Structures are given as C-alpha cells and as structure tokens.
Amino acid sequence: MACAFCEIVAGRKKQHIVAEDAHTLAILDHMPLVPGHTLVIPKKHYASIMEMPKEELCSLILHVAKMEKAVLKATGAGGADIRQHYRPFLAESELKVNHVHFHVIPRNLDDEMYKNLLNEIPMRKMPSEAEFGAVAKKIKAALGK
C-alpha cells in the first residue's frame, strides 16, 4: 500500500494543508481528536525521527513549535499536546501511518479528551468539509499574524 502521507505530499491524495515549507507540511488530522488537531510531517518518508538527518529533524521541530503557536491562536486553547508515536508493531492502516508525524493537539481542561479518559484515542467523528475548511482558515490566518 502506498504511504498515505507520501500521497498527500505528492498531491495525489487530498487533505487540508495549513502550512508548508521546503521540508515540511502541516495538515489537519483527518480524524481530529479535537478541532484544530494538526499534523506536522517531513515531506520525505522516514519511519522514525531516529533515522532523520539532523537538519531535517531540526526543521521539523521548529515547524511544530510554529504550528503550536498558530493552533493555540486559532482555537483559543489554553495549551497543547505534542505527540510523536513510533509504533512499528501496529499494522499500517489509514489511522496508523508509517511516516513520521508530530501531532499538535489543542488542549483545555474541559475538552473531550479529558472527558473521555476511557480511551487513549477518544471516539473521533469525521468533521464535515465545511468544518475542516473553517478550522484550516483560522489556522492559516493565525500563521499570517
């Protein structure tokens, strides 16, 4: 199976892209844990940060910090979780992609993730295109400021 993220980088698979630079892409998670849940990925395929060249990993984390700031501004969240999971023991699927990605998840004390501690991954609802579009617009605007 082709890597879903490589397909997005190549423009063959559609996803809401909120930011882009030479080495990295920031996209909305297609099944957000909370609104504004963003992924920052290297354009080049790596299975783990351990195999990334230093310059590319630096570039990636700087983009993560930049997106964290934009996501906080766009959503008005009080905080954010950054997560990068390397779990090669999980089968690759639409949800578990074997391509390095940093989650940027806006957090609030009363958010759904706290309410739903029953699951590490809470029940996720696929947002509508309009909902995705509205969040993407806010994040892009926050980046511009």
Among 22, 118, 130, 145, binds a second copy (CB under 8 A): 118
Stretch that binds a second copy, among 2-10, 14-22, 35-43, 59-67 (CB under 8 A): 59-67
Query: Contacts from 63-69 at CB under 8 Å and sequence distance 24+?
Result: 63/19, 63/21, 63/24, 63/26, 64/40, 64/102, 64/104, 66/19, 66/143, 67/18, 67/19, 67/26, 67/38, 67/40, 67/104, 67/139, 68/104, 69/142
Cβ of residue 111: shortest distance to a second copy, in angstroms?
A: 10
Instruction: Name which of 72 and 135 has its Cβ closer to a second copy.
Output: 72
For 119, residues 6+ apart whose C-beta sits below 8 A from its C-beta are: none
Cβ of residue 136: shortest distance to a second copy, in angstroms?
A: 21
Does residue 123 belong to the site contacting a second copy (CB under 8 A)? no
Cβ of residue 49: shortest distance to a second copy, in angstroms?
A: 5
Instruction: Name which of 2 and 50 has its Cβ closer to a second copy.
Output: 50
Instruction: Write phi, then psi, for 107 (nearest 5 degrees).
Output: -125, 145
Among 43, 44, 107, 124, binds a second copy (CB under 8 A): 107
Does residue 143 belong to the site contacting a second copy (CB under 8 A)? no
Q: Are 15 and 8 in contact (CB under 8 A)?
A: yes
Q: Identify residue 141 by its one-letter amino acid code.
A: A
Q: Interface with a second copy by CB under 8 A: which residues?
A: 48-50, 52, 54, 57-58, 60-62, 64-65, 68-69, 78-90, 107-109, 113-114, 117-120
